[in-house]
Amino acid sequence: MIKKLFREMLVTQIVSTMTVTLCMLIDSIMIGRFLGVDSMSAYGFATPLLLVFAALGSMISAGVQIVCGKTIGSGDREGTDACYTTAMFLSAVISAVGLILVFSLLKPLTRLLGAGTPSADNPVSGLTTDYIKGFILGAPAFLCAQVMVPFLQLSGRRTRLIAAVAAMTVSDVIFDLLNVFVFRGGTFGMGLASTLSYYIALAIGLLYFFRKDCLFRFRFRLMRPRVFKELVSFGIPTVINQISTVLLVLLLNRLLEATANGTVAVAAYSVITTVGNICYCFGTGIGSVAMMLASVFYTDRDRRSIRELVRLMTFYAILLDFAVMVIELLIAVPLVKLFLGDSTEAVRIAAAGLRLFVLSLIPSSLNSAFKNYYQGVDRIGFAELISVLQNFVFPALFAFVLSRFLDITGIWLGFLCGETLALAAFSIVVWRSFGRISLSADAYSMLKPGFGTPQENCFERSIRSEQDAIAASEDAVAFCRSHGLSQRESMLIGLCIEEMTVNIVTYGFCADRKKHHIDVRLVLEGSDRVLRIRDDCVHFDPVHYLKLHESDDPTAHVGIRMVMKTAKEANYLNSLGWNNLTLVF
């Protein structure tokens, strides 16, 4: 069931990430094709500021994935609402402060970004300012939309998420075309087009949070300093990641500007950055899913699921990015021509750079996946180290040194050399911790010795039919007896497993035409026996259902009644599109 969930979440995450990036890609194509190389350079100079806002949104988003993952994993509903309330409030405050600061410091910011001061000889400066003015108005929607994504993923509302980002892409194309051919608003209009599309996406996503069945509730009284601190601390590696990227962009812009090709080289790098953001969507999507699931499984102390997660994210990182790399190598020239038209020199430089850049995709995707995974399992310092090495130190070092010998080609090679060395560096740390060189999931999971319940005290089964349910019940009885439980207690636990899983097969599997799974996990911890039943069928809360259908008739809902009376404690939570029922005996 983990494999199915991982694929579903990955598709949604890649689509949502890619669609946001596509809006920027569309802007780049329109700017390059219809507004010229100067405007393309202005877009390149403005990119670091856009990345700063993306960093702040990503910080809160990453914090949400981990904090909410932990509260959902432990069944803490109030903690989940506290995370939601604090995250939304924090997003609003950062947006307001950011808008005020950017408009107050617009000219100094333009100079700091490398675009210089406005003059007849430097039209790029004014164009950069215009683009920032148009885009920054959408900063609140841009930031809040980033924070909204993990909440929609956690609540299993993947269709709504895809609808929101699809609407954003379509509207951005329409507004860009209107700006170019009707209103002729220049770079300001291109930025404004993105702004309007972000607000449309935000409006579609926000509709879910006003529904009665929404998993999250905004409760001002739950806004706690502790939750604020957790969101920021867990999100810091993501900020470090983005800041490192911003610094790298600034450095490479300066290195490229100092070459003989100057402005043309910066424009080429803008194209590579934009196309690269599309390529990075796969690694980013894998990393986001890994972070979210890792935090849930880590809180649940589920070593087996974590091991499976590490295998899945490694497999998909290599598979997807290899396919992207091959495609990009084949279409490099026509792709850059979408942005630069027939500008021969710019196309030549950008195509050569793009081909060298895509060779770094596989190590980059692996670095991103593990970096996010380590955030999810509380290896924050390790995740921060990988971020700095991957996104700034090694690429900057190689670009600076190699450019002295290979000029622009050396700068492009910085990506491949930097990502590869970062992967090798963190692997050495993993092997030292594990005690030997190993490519196993156990080694790279980096779990502390003694983490989780020993496997011999766990009973786990996957169920796909009524026969599987009955067999699992019988095996659970034998498992309990072998661990010293009484015949009566063993039979009651087995009966609870059979009753609940047979009901799910009977009523949940036939509710639609999809294939469904049930995962049963029984853990013996001290005097407690904790049974978790998880399925991917339609939403059904047996605890709440029994309260709604109380009856004096002892035969009514006898199966659920028996299970709830047998258990000392019963908790239900629907998250990630799963029904999660936890019974403590």
What is the Cα–Cα distance from 427 to 422, expressed in whole angstroms? 8
Both 463 and 435 in a single domain? no
Both 377 and 523 in a single domain? no
Q: 482 is in which domain, residue-wise?
A: 455-584
Contact 522/583 with Cβ under 8 angstroms?
no
What is the Cα–Cα distance from 564 to 503, expressed in whole angstroms? 14
User: Over 90: is that where the pLDDT of 266 sits?
Assistant: no
pLDDT band at 444 (very low <50, low <70, confident <90, very high): very high
Tell me which residue of 465, 559, 461 sits closest to 510, measured CA to CA. 465
Per DSSP, helices labelled H in 31-157 are 37-73, 77-104, 106-112, 123-136, 139-154
What is the Cα–Cα distance from 406 to 383, expressed in whole angstroms? 32
Both 329 and 201 in a single domain? yes
| Total domains present in the chain | 2
> Which residue spans within 464-510 are E strands per DSSP?
none
Both 82 and 117 in a single domain? yes
Report phi then psi at 302, rounded to 5.
-105, 90
pLDDT value of residue 174: 92
Query: CA torsion sign, 269 to 275 to 279 to 280?
Result: positive
Both 439 and 489 in a single domain? no
User: Over 60: is that where the pLDDT of 119 sits?
Assistant: yes
Both 434 and 521 in a single domain? no
Both 65 and 191 in a single domain? yes
pLDDT band at 416 (very low <50, low <70, confident <90, very high): very high
Both 534 and 434 in a single domain? no
Beta bridge partners, 528, equal 525
The token pair at 533 is: 């039943």
State mean pLDDT over 416-438. 92
Task: Give the CATH number for residue 550.
Answer: 3.30.565.10
Mean pLDDT of the chain: 85
Judged on CB neighbours under 10 Å (0-12, 13-18, 19+), 120 is exposed
pLDDT band at 473 (very low <50, low <70, confident <90, very high): very high
Among 325-329, 379-383, 563-567, the least confident range:
563-567
Both 147 and 288 in a single domain? yes
Highest mean pLDDT among 225-234, 277-286, 308-317, 433-442: 308-317
Residues with Cβ within 8 Å of 396's Cβ and at least 6 positions away in sequence, in order, are 247, 248, 251, 252, 414, 418
Let me know if residue 106 belongs to a domain.
yes
State mean pLDDT over 75-82. 83
Let me know if residue 491 belongs to a domain.
yes
Percent of the chain with pLDDT over 70: 96
pLDDT band at 551 (very low <50, low <70, confident <90, very high): low
Let me know if residue 287 belongs to a domain.
yes
Let me know if residue 178 belongs to a domain.
yes
User: Over 70: is that where the pLDDT of 542 sits?
Assistant: yes
| Residue 183 DSSP class | I
pLDDT band at 281 (very low <50, low <70, confident <90, very high): confident
| Residue 446 DSSP class | -
Let me know if residue 17 belongs to a domain.
yes
Let me know if residue 281 belongs to a domain.
yes
Contact 117/125 with Cβ under 8 angstroms?
yes
Both 323 and 222 in a single domain? yes
pLDDT value of residue 557: 63
Per DSSP, helices labelled H in 300-407 are 303-340, 344-358, 361-376, 380-388, 394-406
| Cα-trace Rg, the chain | 26
pLDDT value of residue 553: 56
Report pTM: 0.77
What is the Cα–Cα distance from 76 to 537, expressed in whole angstroms? 22
Residues with Cβ within 8 Å of 165's Cβ and at least 6 positions away in sequence, in order, are 15, 16, 19, 20, 201
What is the Cα–Cα distance from 366 to 287, expressed in whole angstroms? 9
Pairing of strands 458-463, 518-525: antiparallel
Q: Which of the listed residues 395, 422, 444 is the one where a domain comes to its end?
A: 444
Both 436 and 506 in a single domain? no
pLDDT value of residue 165: 83
Let me know if residue 449 belongs to a domain.
no
pLDDT value of residue 178: 93
Is 354 or 116 the better-scoring residue by pLDDT?
354
Percent of the chain with pLDDT over 90: 21
Query: CA torsion sign, 33 to 38 to 39 to 40?
Result: positive
Q: What is the spatial order of strands in the sheet that 518-525 belongs to?
A: 458-463, 518-525, 528-535, 578-584, 569-575
Q: Which of the listed residues 418, 444, 470 is the one where a domain comes to its end?
A: 444
Let me know if residue 450 belongs to a domain.
no
Among 177-181, 183-187, 336-340, 411-415, the least confident range:
336-340
Q: Which of the listed residues 413, 444, 475 is the one where a domain comes to its end?
A: 444
Both 512 and 433 in a single domain? no
pLDDT band at 550 (very low <50, low <70, confident <90, very high): low
Question: From the CB of residue 552, how many other CB atoms can be counted at a distance below 10 Å?
Answer: 5
pLDDT value of residue 38: 85
Residues with Cβ within 8 Å of 547's Cβ and at least 6 positions away in sequence, in order, are none
Contact 110/42 with Cβ under 8 angstroms?
no
What is the Cα–Cα distance from 56 to 59, expressed in whole angstroms? 5
Query: Which amino acid, residue 577?
Result: G
pLDDT band at 41 (very low <50, low <70, confident <90, very high): confident
